[in-house]
């Protein structure tokens, strides 16, 4: 299950994002969108979880909850054109 997380704090790390979701189940991957010029996080990221039930629980529990002084926006990513490779992070 691919999860989009936005409204992230400026000082978040990929490790802290991973740990936040690992409390709900196995996280396959987590990535932050980074500004190519400054190298700073752009305020959103992607988390991939193995189990859909665990992923849905994480979305339900974390959406609109405060984390690092900002309320998270957490949603399941929509597949584009039923693309089975959409869960890949390159």
pLDDT category at 64 given cuts 50, 70, 90 is: very high
Domains and CATH numbers, the chain: 2-45+53-76 (3.30.70.330)
Separation in Å, CA 64 to CA 17, 58, 59, 73, 86: 15, 12, 9, 5, 25
Report the mean per-residue pLDDT for the chain.
Answer: 90
User: pTM here?
Assistant: 0.84
pLDDT in tens, 29-58: 999 999 999 988 899 999 999 999 999 999
């Amino acid at each position: 299950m691919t999860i989009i997380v936005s409204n992230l704090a400026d000082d978040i790390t990929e490790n802290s994002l991973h740990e936040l979701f690992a409390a709900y189940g196995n996280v396959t991957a987590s990535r932050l969108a980074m500004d190519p010029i400054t190298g700073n996080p752009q305020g959103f990221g992607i988390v991939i979880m193995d189990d859909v039930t665990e992923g849905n629980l994480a979305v339900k529990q974390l959406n609109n909850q405060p984390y690092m002084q900002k309320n998270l926006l957490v949603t399941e990513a929509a597949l584009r054109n039923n693309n089975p490779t959409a869960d890949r992070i390159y």
